Amino acid sequence: MKRVDFFFARIDLNVIDHPKAFMAGVDGFGLWAWSVCYCRKHLTDGDIPMAAVRAALNGPDNEGLTERLIDCGLWSKKDEKTIRVINYKAKNETRDQVVEKRKTQRNKKKNQRIVARLSPEDIEGTPQGTDPPCPSTCPPSCPPTAGISISEEESEENPLEAEAAALGIEVRELEYKLAYERGIVAGKGGRYVLSVEHIGWLNELLPAFARSDRSDRFGKRLRGDELLQWIAFEAEHFARWLAAKSEKDISVYSSFGPKGFRKYLNEAVSLEQRAS
């Protein structure tokens, strides 16, 4: 069964009676609550790109909600492109804390699987604080005195390796696939599965569009978690935009597929360049 991570953002219930909430108003407070959830989901430690705020508002901030939240002390302006949620880390876990917790949970589960493979005879007499011995089913090539190493460096397993091997793709390609599927589902709802045959389209567009900015002189390429966040974020807004279109338009954009996603990104870049 595929593992699912559940994320929860923490918002103090007392905030509904706080003067800052009254100053923000219902619409402003809703945007602030969205911002807390955004930071928790993407593990940004309280920082939000202005592009994400505009996407949440479905366009320009004509009502001045951003300035209202800054004035009442719920947001601050980190720089021209970034908003910061004030005191986010006072109530919510930081990125480092979440990563460390996941590592601990992975190691715990791994150790449980190791122990599950052992027979009672293997476990009996093992000194406390030491690794359990090899299972009775260990192959003859295994040295008799060798124990099972449960250190992360020696036995860390990527849970996606088996799934990627079954699909005949690399682990990084599976990560791209899952991030794209998450974004499309978040944008249009329902269910979406990216065909393995179409992963090539996704691979091809990433070097061109997954950059730190989209100016005429492209910025640094995104990698690692930043790249996966970019894929999910852009795919979500592509799906949200396309879901409001006609069936004919949806077909033109390959029914939410990467080929249509590339067409959408190309048009978005053209609009930005014309606007500048």
Total domains, the chain: 3
> Does the residue 1 lie in any domain?
no
What span, in angstroms and rounded, lies between the C-alpha atoms of 271 and 269? Answer: 5
Are 19 and 72 part of one and the same domain?
A: yes
In this structure, the answer to whether residues 48 and 99 fall within a common structural domain is: no
**In 3D, which of 193, 192, 197 has the Cα closest to residue 169?**
197
Domain that holds residue 61: 13-91
Q: Is 136 within a domain?
A: no
Q: Which two tokens stand for residue 113?
A: 């699987």
10-43: per-residue pLDDT in tens? Answer: 898 888 899 999 999 999 999 999 999 999 888 8
pLDDT at 213: 59
Greater confidence, 146 or 247? 247
pLDDT at residue 130 greater than cutoff 60: no
Q: Are residues 190 and 271 in the same domain?
A: yes
Q: 138 in a domain, yes or no? A: no
User: What's 216's DSSP letter?
Assistant: S
**pLDDT the model gives residue 68:** 95
The C-alpha atoms of residue 31 and residue 21 are separated, in whole angstroms, by 11
Most confident of 69-73, 99-103, 127-131: 69-73
Return the CATH number at 19: 1.10.10
Identify which of 104-108, 148-152, 158-162, 244-248 has the greatest average pLDDT: 244-248
Q: Is 215 helix (H, G, I), strand (E, B) or coil?
A: coil
Torsion angles phi and psi, residue 154, rounded to 5: -95, -25
Structure confidence at residue 149 as a pLDDT band (50, 70, 90): very low
Global pTM value: 0.45
**Among all chains, which residue has been given the structure tokens 């005879």?**
121
Query: Residue 240: inside a domain, yes or no?
Result: yes
For the residues 64-85, what does the mean pLDDT come to? Answer: 93
Distance of CA 107 to the CA centre of its chain: 21
Q: Verify that 32 and 109 share a domain, yes or no.
A: no
Is 160 within a domain?
no
Q: What is the distance between the alpha carbons of residues 21 and 29, in angstroms, rounded to a whole number?
A: 6
d(CA 259, CA 205): 9
pLDDT of res. 272: 62
Least confident of 29-43, 47-61, 74-88, 101-115: 101-115
Euclidean distance between CA atoms 70 and 203, whole angstroms: 39
Average pLDDT over residues 184-211: 85
pLDDT, residue 134, reads: 53
Please indicate, yes or no, if residue 252 is contained in any of the structural domains.
Answer: yes
Q: Distance (Å, rounded) from C-alpha 104 to C-alpha 98?
A: 10
| Spatial contact of 9 and 40, defined as CB atoms under 8 Å apart | yes
Selection from 202, 204, 195 nearest residue 234 by Cα: 202
